[in-house]
Copies of this chain bind each other. A is one copy, B any other.
Amino acid sequence: MGRKNDKISNAVIKRLPRYRRYLIELDRKGVEKISSKELSELIGYTASQIRQDFNNFGGFGQQGYGYSVKGLYDEISAILGLDKAYKMVMLGAGNLGQAITKYLASHKEGFQLSAIFEVSPELIGTELEGLTIRDYDDIVDYIEQEGIDIGIICVGSSNAQAAADKLCFAGVRGIWNFSTVEIEVPVHVAVENVQLTDSLHTLAYHMNDYSKQEAAAKESAAKKEVIEGRGKSKKK
């Protein structure tokens, strides 16, 4: 089952981990076959959207017979590259670096944090989640020797580009960037940005937007009452 198209849109790729999560749950519940219609009811995308998404990668199933849950899960995992293992290093052991290290400690599944690097002398040599924090100066040698795949940037904004340059020089293939800086990398290095603050700000926007909508709805209901009230009094 090969790929139909070489270039798959980012929107489709972003949906794949979500499909995969639903398939894990279905498999856990003992569901073996699922139609695009049933999947649509669960996940909220239209059945046609789902079929179109899966067609990007060569189909996965026969129309009318439903998809094999386990088969679909395995295929999506393989497409995402989750049938492989990845070795990662963390750059920065401040609050953010500590937070992400803690997070990774409980969400390993194929992604192994091998080492943490830091510049502050007071942190170097201390332990975090079973890993000794190492001197930032040794990072290039470590990455080369250990064949590290991914670098996680949790340093301050002003040092983020320098950290990315170092990672790329040392030969990582991917960067998981938690800094607020948009880093520049060679074309063969993949970057995924996580902007937690942006997400919080988007939430604030929607909260205010909903309040405004609510206020507007109340206002409009009040107006309607006044107008209807007037109408009634005229009718009398």
Contacts and interface: CB of A to CB of B under 8 A. Distances in A.
Given A17-B195, A196-B194, A99 B103 contact: yes
Interface in A158-214: 173-176, 180, 182, 187-192, 194-211, 213-214
Nearest to A149: B207
Interface stretch (A31-39, A66-74, A75-83, A130-138): A75-83
A232 to B, nearest CB: 30
Interface in A16-50: 16-18, 20-21, 44
A222 interface: no
Looking at A86, A199, A201, the one whose CB has the most chain B CB atoms below 10 A away is A201
A142 interface: no
Q: Could you say which interface size class chain A belongs to?
A: 35 or more
A147 interface: no
A189 B210 contact: yes
Contact of A201 (B80, B106, B188): B80
Quickly give the copy total for this chain: 2
A213 B186 CA distance: 14
Contacts of A107: 196-197
A95 interface: yes
A202 B17 contact: yes
A54 interface: no
Interface of A: 6, 13-14, 16-18, 20-21, 44, 79-82, 84, 86, 94-96, 98-100, 102-103, 105-107, 109-111, 149-150, 173-176, 180, 182, 187-192, 194-211, 213-214, 216
24 contacts: A17-B202, A18-B195, A79-B205, A80-B201, A81-B205, A82-B201, A86-B204, A95-B103, A95-B106, A96-B103, A103-B196, A107-B196, A107-B197, A150-B207, A173-B210, A176-B199, A176-B200, A187-B210, A188-B210, A188-B214, A190-B206, A190-B207, A191-B206, A192-B199
